[in-house]
Amino acid sequence: MTLRTTPTPGAPGLRLLITGANGQVGWNLERTLAPLGEVIALTRDQLDLADLDAVAQTVRDTGAKIVVNAAAYTAVDKAESEPDLAHAINALAPARMAAELVKIGGTLIHYSTDYVFDGAKTGAYVEDDPTGPLGVYGGTKLEGEQGIIATGCAHVILRTSWVYDVRGKNFLRTVLRLAKDRDELRMVGDQFGAPTWARTIAEATAAIAVQILRQPGEPDCAARGLFHLTSSGQTSWAGFAKAILEDYEDLVDWPAETGEFGGELKARRVVEITTDEYPTPAKRPRNSMLSNSKIQAAFGITMPEWRGQLRLAMQDAIR
């Protein structure tokens, strides 16, 4: 197996392992963690999380001080018809990583989701609110959290929401693709959450990793546990789509620029529809709002507002 590694002379012997290196968060992590040590970033081809023995062996062989698990089965609707595979990747594999890390005294940083909640709460969810996943994906992600915690491994579990980037599979790129094809976009207006840029998640993760590495030996309990990590503010899917189109219209100089982040949009308006008008195999929570207060207190991380972050992400892709 050929490993993608970033050697760092400044931190001899310190290794960080990233799984899911071609995903939205994983791709950004390979860049934001680079200054901290030798980064081993593995794609699905290099480490398949469905192979639990390979997961355990890789954690052992790399001897990583920190493992950041950015790999996941994220196809929310498809998970309804592939529950066993989703369970293996989202629940069993993270627990197996954690069990190996206990033996070598490492820390697992892992991502979870707003979909562990049923969305019935009024106001933002806090970490110890009762869970109630509405589908297989959310259920398997919840089991992943519980499996990690049960091993006693030092861990930071970050529940995030509505992740997007200018690469990878996500809502932003779907909106732009559809807007070049259709006269209007019909988007759900009664589910609320915080779109969160994968780069910001990766940057916050690096800040957390720095703090973990500064505490060798006995882990500081305040800096371990389950946290929410999303952009500030809130919108609906329809609001998110409108903002994407607004930024695109502002930033793209068409027809001079072509390609995915270039060319003219056909759709000029977003029509709000209800969840009932857009049935999907997996139900989604109406309220995906997560409070960031705990991570702010523990790590001093203040997550920026989603609207400004979207603008920066679009600027990255366009100019």
Ligand X SMILES: NC(=O)c1ccc[n+]([C@@H]2O[C@H](COP(=O)([O-])OP(=O)(O)OC[C@H]3O[C@@H](n4cnc5c(N)ncnc54)[C@H](OP(=O)(O)O)[C@@H]3O)[C@@H](O)[C@H]2O)c1
Tell me the DSSP string of 273-293.
E-GGGS--SS---SB--B--H
Binds ligand X by CB under 6 A, chosen from 15, 20, 117, 139 = 20
Closest CB 74 distance from ligand X, rounded Å: 4
- The residue (of 44 and 311) whose beta carbon lies closer to ligand X is 44
Closest CB 193 distance from ligand X, rounded Å: 9
Closest CB 266 distance from ligand X, rounded Å: 26
Residues touching ligand X: how many (CB under 6 A)? 27
**137 classed as catalytic:** yes
**Contact status: 155 vs ligand X (CB under 6 A):** no
Q: Give the separation between CA 59 and CA 111, rounded to whole angstroms.
A: 17
Binds ligand X by CB under 6 A, chosen from 161, 231, 235, 309 = 161
Contact 118, 132 (CB under 8 A): yes
- The residue (of 207 and 222) whose beta carbon lies closer to ligand X is 207
Contact 282, 134 (CB under 8 A): yes
Angle (CA) 94-81-137 rounded to 5° is 35
Question: Closest Cα partner for 4 from 35, 32, 34, 25?
Answer: 34
- Hey, what are 133's tokens? 């996943």
Cβ neighbours, 10 Å, residue 202: 23
Q: Give the separation between CA 87 and CA 142, rounded to whole angstroms.
A: 10
Binds ligand X by CB under 6 A, chosen from 41, 101, 156, 163 = 163
Catalytic residue from among 73, 115, 137, 164: 137
**Contact status: 25 vs ligand X (CB under 6 A):** yes
Subset of residues 180 to 209 that bind ligand X, contact rule: CB under 6 A: 198
Question: Closest Cα partner for 313 from 24, 8, 111?
Answer: 24
Q: State the amino acid at position 10 in one-letter form.
A: G
Closest CB 298 distance from ligand X, rounded Å: 19
Binds ligand X by CB under 6 A, chosen from 32, 107, 113, 151 = 113
Q: Give the separation between CA 218 and CA 181, rounded to whole angstroms.
A: 56
**Contact status: 74 vs ligand X (CB under 6 A):** yes
Cβ neighbours, 10 Å, residue 292: 20
- Hey, what are 69's tokens? 């698990």
**Contact status: 168 vs ligand X (CB under 6 A):** yes
Please name the residue that has the structure tokens 């195999």: 281
**Contact status: 89 vs ligand X (CB under 6 A):** yes
Using the contact rule CB under 6 A, the part of the chain among 162-170, 220-228, 240-248, 305-313 near ligand X is 162-170
Using the contact rule CB under 6 A, the part of the chain among 33-41, 65-73, 147-155, 235-243 near ligand X is 65-73
Q: State the amino acid at position 214 in one-letter form.
A: R
**Residue number with the smallest Cβ distance to ligand X:** 23
Enumerate the active-site residues: 137
Residues of this chain that interact with ligand X (CB under 6 A) are: 20, 22-26, 44, 47-50, 70-74, 89, 111, 113, 141, 160-163, 168-169, 198
